[in-house]
Structure formats: C-alpha cells, structure tokens
Structure 1
C-alpha cells in the first residue's frame, strides 16, 4: 500500500535528518503504548465485554544487538487491520498538513513539533530504516503485521498470543542499542507514566559463598518509577516525601522552605507541585536564568526550560506542572498562545501568592527568611500593569524609620496617625544614608513613619504605585515645598537667596527656602514630575541616561546662614559647601572634589584662627 501524500513528505523530512533531537522517538512510542494500556484499562471497567479480560498493564523494551533491533511492546488495546490503515497509513485526523505548514527550518524548534500534530509514531524513522508493528486487538482472534521501509507499507496476517502491540525498529546505527542510553531517555521523559516499563539489562551480582568476584548478568528490571508524586493524594504524603522528591528532582540538598501541592479538576484539569527553595539559585539575577519548572502532559515529560509557565518575578519557584488536555509536545509559541496554559499559569500564580500570604500570617520568621532571599525578585511583579499588584503589595516587607525589623504595609497602616492619608517613602542606593537623610527630620519630629527603600528596583516601581488600601504613596524628596516662614523672614533672607541662585545656576534647577529642616543646613529635592537621583542612576544602567538638575533647599534658621548674613565675604564658598553637603547626604557624587577640599580647608583655617 502507498502512504498518503502528506505522509511521504513527512517521512522524507525525517529520514533526511531534519531533526537533531532524535531521542524523542522513544518518548513518543512509549506514550502511544501508555495510551493503549489506558484504553484497555478503561474498557475493562466500563464495557462488560472486556470485564473478564485479565491483564497486568506493562510496557517492555528489548534490545537485540545482533539483529540491530529495538522493540517496544505493550499489552494494551491493540489494533486490527482497519486500525493499522487508519493509524499508521494515513494521517487524515492528525493534522500533518498543519505540521508541515508550521515547519520553519530551525532544526531545534521544528523538532519540538513532533507529537504536537499526532505524528509521533513517524519520528521513529529518524533512527530506523525499517519498522514492523505486530498487533492483536483485544477480544479478536487475528493478529496483523504492519511493515514499512518508508517508501510504502504492507499489512498481512500474523500470529500473536496476547493482545497488544509490538513496535520493532530496525535501527540505522548502534546509538540506541545501549541499555544505559535507553534507560536515561526513559528516566528523562517517561519516568512518571503510570505503567511499569521493563527492560533487560546488565546488573552486577555480588559474590556469594566462596566466590571471589561478582559478575554481570542480564536481568529484566523495571526502569521507571511508574508513579508521579504530584498526582498522589496529599493526605497520603508526609513532609519527608516532599523533601526527598525535591532533593532527587531538583538537585538541592537543602530542605525547601515551602511546598504547594494542587490538584485542579473541572474545566481546567492539571496537577502542580511547587517548591520555594531555602537557598537562592546562583543565576537568580541573570537574564539567562534556568527555569526551575518542568512541564508534563499526562505524566509525560515535555520540557524543563519554559520560562513562560510562570512570570519572571516567580523565577525562584521550582516544581512541576502536569496538564491533562494538551498535545504531547508544546512549542514555545504554543506555550504563549495556548488558552489552557494561560489559564493554568494564572491559576498557579494566584495559588503561589495565596500560599505565601498564608505563610506571612502564620509564620512571620519563616516568611522573613523567604523575603530576604526573594523579596527583590518579587518586587519586579509590581512593575507595569499586572493584575496581581494588590496581592503582591500585601507580601512586601520594608525597612522603616520606626523599627529595626522589616514591616508590612498593613503594619504601617495600622500604626498611622488618624489624619494621615499617605504612605511616605524615600528611595536611594544606600540604606545607611537613607536613615540619616535630612529629608527625614520633619517626619521624625512629627512621629510619622517613612519607608526606607534602598533596592535599585524601588526607584523604578514606586512611581507606578498609586495607593495601598486607600493610602497614597508619596516620595518625601518630591513633595511640595513646605515653606512656613513669615514674610519678614523671607524678606530678610531674599538678598542671600538671590546670591545663591546666581552662584549655583549651572548646578541646580532652583534654590529656595524651606521649613522642612531642623538640624541640617540644606537638602536636595526634585520636581515631582522628574526622576530623582536614584531613578537617574537606574536609567543610566539601562542605557537611558537622563540628567536632571536638583533643587537645593536651605534652612534659613541654621546657624551657618545667620552668621553668613553678618559676613558675606564667604558666600561663594558657603554656597558650594552647602550644595555639596546636601549631595553627599543623598549619596550623590561631588563634581569637583579638589575645589570642595580647598574651600573646606579655608573654612576650617578661618574657624581655628
């Protein structure tokens, strides 16, 4: 018989090594065998005709180095002649036309399409120049042998005692005749399918009695675990089971901080098992970080490098997502567009954030440990217009002017004064400088708590946050100028202020008086519509340099200025000093250190005279 035209096109592509990832043929054939066992399992409990059929579901792999063959057999539903023609001779129902249309010429990308369009069986022609399929359908008397060298195929009657299917591959080379190679592929892709996979392999037998040396013997052994912990009932599992699974599958000897085990049924069917590590991954802040999630479809491993399964601000999460209603293989494009996976992602994010909130409420110390590890990463989720901002804000912890320990926004809100309608914060790159900033003076006097935000990302995300539970976020270095001075004080200070403005016109946007300071002579602030110094530094790192002149505010009640009015010969030097003092207090650099040192030396000499 001749193959359908599209099948011929497909086989030619595979035979001529379009695909580099040849090992996936075994995953596809084992998945087909698992499906056949599933079907017979279902019929044995749902159809009276099959209820007396006794069988122990299993898959067997046999290697024959002399004959250069690899066989995969199952005792599942099996096929008759009609099934063979429909399933192996044509691909009318499998979407091969779509498969061919989706080919891009990118070897790695195209190899991921196998299975997505139901062409998994044909991937075996990547490694075999001839394939034989011996099958007997359950309850039938006859068995049939399908064989093909990819030019066409034939079907004839044959003999087989038990129902099921044997796929015999006549291999092109010896790469897949190595039992260790086959076992590693099974472990990678098919370790957790629910049926046992057996293979004859060499095992070391320890010496017995008077024997001096052990020996290697061929023994049939199960080479897969045949269970998936994430699909087991939570009530049947202990903390040690999760910890052992985490260590074995994610190669981390440290116990996880938290595990989140979910089974979703109904319209959206999937199982997930997530872990929060107790140590930060080494590549946490690298653009090319390795995803910690593994995607399975019906227990069959698909990928461990899909960053689309969770948002980047949850990239520290390790775990498994096992979806029911997806094709066996999912390309990166499908990951981004598939509605089922989008829904799974949304549901998973909500579940993880919800469990983190529970941890924060029930075990503050453990949550604190988590936040110190991953708080900076979690903050990334506040950037932009994501739908989980409110949930993320509840998870945030901050250093403040009122406590040594990190505090939540709920704690801040619970302690505010009755008339307060804002959450005040200050951003910068150095926590110690923030604690001593002159801008805090009036807030300390009024006993108003201020958030101290020293993470680089804070400067980027805080302007994008409007409020938290009715309280508006307000940067204290961008608040309106508080000038509660009398008209007389302003008038008396006007000449000196005019001199400062002229002397510093190239370095600052404006010089003005303020009543926000008590101990410091000056401070730096910014127009609320322009980036402050911390934000400018961040933009510079991102290649978007934007230099904005600061506004210098002066404390007219400070002794420096009251004495300066009596001796104005030092005005140029004092103007430079108080500007640089304000800059230093905010962690900014000085444009001309030599000039600063010279002026400082002159002032000190004068003071000691």
Structure 2
C-alpha cells in the first residue's frame, strides 16, 4: 500500500507538489523511489512541527465584562469565563493518534512526546498538562515521573495508592486511556526522567532519611515475621510475596505489582482482549501483598497467628475468626489494589458468616415455607343508587323517562 503519511497521521489531508518526481511514474516506481522516501520524512516532520506550534497557542484569560446595574440599583461586575487553549479540544479528538505514533514511530518519539497531554493529581477538570509542565513542577529531590493507570480520574483520586503522594504534595500523572500504559512502556523516560508506576512494589523517596528507613524496615520485618510467614502459608500462590509497606496510611493492606510484572490495569485490559493469544500465566500480574505495620488490624492478626517457633506453632490454636479476618483483609487489599476477587464463592461465604455474627443470628437455616389458607372470592360491591327496576343505570340513557315521572 502506497502512503505518504504514516498510519497515526492519517487524519491529515493535503496535496504534495514536487518538481523532483519523474514525469513517467507508476506505483512500483513511486514505492521504490528515494525521492518519495525523502518526501515522506519531510512531510512527517512538517506535520509534527505544525501540531507543535498549534499546541503552543494560548487560551484567553478571564476578563471583567462591562458593569451592570441590578434591580436594586447596585453595580455588578461579572467576570467572563476563561477560554482554554484550542489545542485541548483538538487533543481530545486526535490525542490517541499521537500516542500510537509514539509506539510506532521511534525516530520521532521525542518530538511526539512533547505533544502529549494528561490529567494529573494537580490539574483542573477542564485542563491538561504536558510532560514539560510536569517536569517543571517536580520537587528538587524528585528524579522520577510518577504515573498511575486506571479506569477514570475519579477512581484514581480516591485510591489508597495516592495517600503518600498527597501527603508529600507530589504530582501524579493519570493514565486513563487503554493505550496509555502501552505507550509509557515504549517511552520509558522523558527528559532523562524515568516513568515510575506508583502501583509497583518497592517505591522509594529521596527526601526520606535512608538510614532511619532501613532501621524501621529491619524492626518491622522482625516484629511481623510470624504473621508474614503464616499469611504466605494460607494465601499460597495467590500472592508472590508479602512485604512490609512504607507508604500505607489508613488501610491495613494493599495488593501491588512487582516491578517488572503487569499492573492491575494492564491485567484488566489483557483479559478484555479476546484474541490476545496469552494464557493465564502471562496475563496474571505478579501480586505482592503490602501490609501496614502500624495498623491495629495487622497487630490483631499478629496476636492471633501461630508463633514462629515450629514446636510452639503445632500446639497453637488459630480461631476461625482470625482466619476469616485474614482472608477478608486480603479481599479488601485486592480491591484496593484494583484487582478482582478471584474466589467469589469463598468471599460470599465469609461475608455471610460475618453477617451472622454481627446480627447475632443463631443459624442461617431458612424458615419453613408458609402454606396460607385459600381465600374466598368476595362479590363485587354494586352502587344501587340510580339503578332502575331492571338494574340499568338510567343516568347512562338520558332519552329514557324516569319511573318517578309517572303518577301511578
């Protein structure tokens, strides 16, 4: 197929006039011509440059309109709404083409990356930021571009993964379109800054005291070793490992992904692709359970789990409530991490046991089926007023004389 423009720029239409082409041409000549290859490269560069200049056009700021006088004679000054840059509206229609270009066109990847726009944790609903904007607002100690992939901005904003970043006032770029995560994997970095998904395990922040963090990590690992060992035994292959989290705040646990594995969002996308040709082992993310060492739920589970010593553990009795609590915490951690619950039947059974306990029910057995008595049909009520001798409503027949008119 003969195309002067690559697939991702197929929305551009135009006419190319060149004096360098031979007069006698055919399709084979055009496809093999070196001049055509040069024209293709120049057209792509010109198109990208045209879009770049368009992206730099600014919107109109808010202006104060002429003063108006209300019904009470008071002077009111109404501010007109600001007009966003025209590139934003264009990008909503053709942004995915730019992203496909970053995946397919490696030589122009750097130029195309400057045309990208994203929602972020600090952007307004009607405004988007560029990667250059993000880099310009980074903390002095920050060396990575933090990204978070999910279904929508509203879901990502309320995620527990955002707690540490909100606490540190760190901006996070939201990846809410299907192609975004594929694109970031191909880009890898921008302006020397590596893209880092915040859902990955082992995140570190350069503003923290490294020596203090190591001492804390060592202490928590020793303190919680009986619990992490027991949890790995009952969860089995459902998790790759259990780690002590350095970022969780309000939640006792969350399921994250390994550094080189699929994220929860990527797993969701791959499952939705009917013809991806991948088996379960390729789709399934390498899940890591992060537990919050400061949360009371974790310490309650620690008190109820078997000790580390094997001899003492054999005689230790684990209550059903502790086992159910451990599994319910895992289900909650899966949902908090964006993963679906695998065993829905077991989840439903545990929830029913919890309801039974909370409501003080002695049994979940159903009540006996009722056998209500047969009801006799009642005759319909009839309004006898206005009925004639034959039971006809004389009001419905105005042409018929009423019997009361006769003097008998």
Fold match by TM threshold 0.5: yes
Identify if the C-alpha distance between structure 1 residues 507 and 326 changes in structure 2 by more than 3 Å, giving closer, same or farther.
farther
Q: Secondary structure at the match of 2:221?
A: helix
Higher RCO (CA 8 Å, separation ≥ 6 residues): 2
Task: Check whether the contact 1:511–1:554 (CA below 8 A) recurs between aligned residues.
Answer: yes
| Matches of 1:336 and 1:586, distance apart in 2 | 50
In structure 1, C-alpha distance between the alignment counterparts of 2:22 and 2:358, rounded to whole Å: 80
Change (3 A) 1:470 1:486: closer
Asked if 1:383 corresponds to 2:78, the answer is: no
Instruction: Give the TM-score normalised by the residue count of structure 1.
Output: 0.46
Matched, 1:594 2:345: yes
Q: What's the CA shift string for 1:161-219, capped at 9, x where partnerless?
A: xxxxxxxxxxxxxxxxxxxxxxxxxxxxxxxxxxxxxxxxxxxxxxxxxxxxxxxxxxx
Listed one character per residue, the Cα deviations across residues 319-352 of structure 1 (whole Å, up to 9, x for unaligned) are 2223331455542x55543222221111111111
Distance 1:571 1:459, change over 3 A: farther
569-578 vs 554-563, greater mean Cα deviation: 569-578
- Residue 461 of structure 1 aligns to a residue whose secondary structure is helix
Name the SS of the counterpart of 1:322 in structure 2.
coil
Kindly indicate whether residue 301 of structure 2 is the aligned counterpart of residue 564 of structure 1: yes
User: How many angstroms does 1:375 deviate by?
Assistant: 0.7
* 2:56 counterpart SS class: helix
Partner of 1:309: 4
What is residue 554 of structure 1 aligned with on the other side? 291
Q: Tell me the residue number matched to 2:154.
A: 432
**Distance verdict in 2 for CA 1:334–1:529, change over 3 Å:** farther
SS of equivalent residue, structure 2 residue 350: helix
Deviation digits for residues 557-581 of structure 1 (CA, Å, limit 9, x no counterpart): 2232223334453333233223322
How far off is 1:382 after superposition? 1.3
Determine the structure 2 residue equivalent to 1:392: 112
Match of 1:518 among 249, 261, 264: 249
- Give me the whole-angstrom Cα distance separating, in 2, the residues matched to 1:315 and 1:435: 35
Distance 1:412 1:493 in 2: 38
Are positions 1:577 and 2:307 aligned together? no
**In the alignment, is residue 494 of structure 1 matched against residue 225 of structure 2?**
yes
Could you tell me which of 261, 270, 278 is aligned with 1:530?
A: 261
Please show how residues 232-381 of structure 1 align to structure 2 within 5 Å.
308-324=3-19, 325-327=21-23, 329-331=25-27, 334-364=29-59, 365-381=85-101
Size of the aligned set, in residue pairs, is: 303
- In the alignment, which residue of structure 2 is the partner of 1:142? none
Higher strand share: 1
User: C-alpha displacement at 1:376, in angstroms?
Assistant: 1.4
User: What TM-score, normalized by structure 2, do the two folds share?
Assistant: 0.68
Contact 1:431 1:452 in 2 (8 A): yes
Q: CA deviation at 1:604?
A: 4.7
Secondary structure of the corresponding residue to residue 478 of structure 1: coil
C-alpha RMSD of the superposition: 2.4
**Cα shift at 1:518:** 0.9
- The 1-side partners of 2:58 and 2:25 are apart by 40
Corresponding residue number in structure 2 for 1:226: none
CA displacement at 1:488 relative to structure 2: 3.5
Q: CA deviation at 1:551?
A: 1.2
**Equivalents in 2 of 1:406, 1:352: separation in Å?**
22
Query: 2:230 matched to 1:508?
Result: no
Q: 1:562 to 1:387 in 2, by over 3 A?
A: same
In the alignment, structure 1 segments of 5+ residues that lack a partner are: 1-305
